[in-house]
Amino acid sequence: MSASAAATCVLGQAGEVLCQGSVADRPPGAYRSLSVGPAHACAVDESHAVVCWGNGLDSGAAEAPAGTYTSVAAGDLHSCARTASGELVCWGSDANGRTSAPSGRYRSLSAGAWHSCAVDDEGEVVCWGANIDGSTDAPSGTYRAVSVGFAHSCGLRDSRTIGCWGLNQFGQADAPSGRYRFVSAGHAHTCAVRTSGALVCWGGAWHGQLDVPSGSYRAVSAGGDFACALGSDRRLACWGANDYGKAEPPEGRFLWVGTGQHHACAVSEAGEMLCWGQNNHGQADAPAGRFRSVNAGAIHTCAIRDTGAAVCWGHELHARARPPTDLQ
């Protein structure tokens, strides 16, 4: 699942993407994963292609890149994807080096507002972009995954403990002790799933972001001022701010959900993309097809098709919703 402050998207039972809010007009089809930004979204379809949607300012907002991808991450003014060989590709605004991805092979990737981070094949976290309050100064250690928020990041260590770094104005980098299976950094709060399946959130709480629901969960996605979680039964639960209806997830069973600033998108069990929340830049206008994953940025969304192609949609001011087309 993936969410931003303005929208939320989730993967349904059949792999379809459901979105509410700023990226509600999602594309039909089946997807594997997704990522939601503030005004755009991207997803990975069944062919491993990346698809992005949202209201671009010029043509090519949904152009699919050549090559195959395993995951995609939608940030604020940029997007990044991981190729089948583990290499990273980023596009959009390169202000502060946001699209200057490091070379090498990586197993996990996450894009935030001003910086991005990835876990390499050795388990080390590497970050690039604006170094606000040490947000790119990842601590040493061996990690399974990393999640990037506005100006802080959190990583899940091999020991199943969580380490966070960067801006800590509201305690969003003060991870509680314990063992976890999943972590997601939002704008000013962070949420995680304990190994028991219980949810826990910390940091800013002015919109009820820390009031987690009870139950057992597989994954969680922290957006701008809300969050959504995928239950053990693959049903969705959202909480926090509910402007644009971003905390009102669709019914059904899902594989993946991504939250952006005010929208979210999800991939159903059949691979279809659904988005909801704010859609002022077309970030909820998901393209048709079948997808593997989705990730939401501030105002755009990116996803990976089942073919492995990357597709993005939403605000295209810095071409962040237009994946590259020169990769083989």
For the chain, give every domain's residue range.
2-314
Q: What is the CATH number of domain 2-314?
A: 2.130.10.30
**Residue 327 in this model has a pLDDT that exceeds 90:** no
Whole-model pTM: value is 0.85
Residue 236 has pLDDT above 90, yes or no: yes
pLDDT by residue (tens digit) across 74-133?
888 788 889 889 999 888 888 899 989 999 999 999 999 889 999 999 999 999 999 999
CB 37 within 8 Å of CB 300: yes
Query: In this predicted structure, what is the pLDDT of residue 268?
Result: 93
- pLDDT, residue 254, reads 96
Query: What percent of the chain clears pLDDT 70, i.e. is strictly above it?
Result: 82
Mean pLDDT across 147-173? 97
Q: How far apart are CA 62 and CA 327, in angstroms?
A: 16
For residues 138 and 165, what is the distance between their CA atoms, to the nearest angstrom? 7
Dump pLDDT digits (tens) for 59-69.
Answer: 232 344 566 88
What pLDDT does residue 60 have?
32
CA-based end-to-end distance of the chain = 28
Specify the pLDDT at position 68.
82
Per-residue pLDDT of 239-266, as tens digits, reads 999 999 999 999 999 999 999 989 999 9
Amino acid 106 reads Y
Q: Establish how many alpha carbons lie within 13 A of residue 154's alpha carbon, considering only the half-sphere containing its beta carbon.
A: 31
* pLDDT attached to residue 208: 96
Q: How far apart are CA 106 and CA 126, in angstroms?
A: 9
pLDDT at position 188, please?
96
Question: Per DSSP, which regions of 167-240 are E strands?
Answer: 180-185, 189-194, 199-203, 217-222, 226-231, 236-240
Question: Mean pLDDT, the chain, as a whole number?
Answer: 85
Given a cut of 60, whether residue 325 has pLDDT beyond it is: no
As given in the structure block, the two tokens for residue 273 are 């993309």
pLDDT number for residue 172? 98
- In this prediction, residue 39 has a pLDDT band, given cuts at 50, 70 and 90, of low
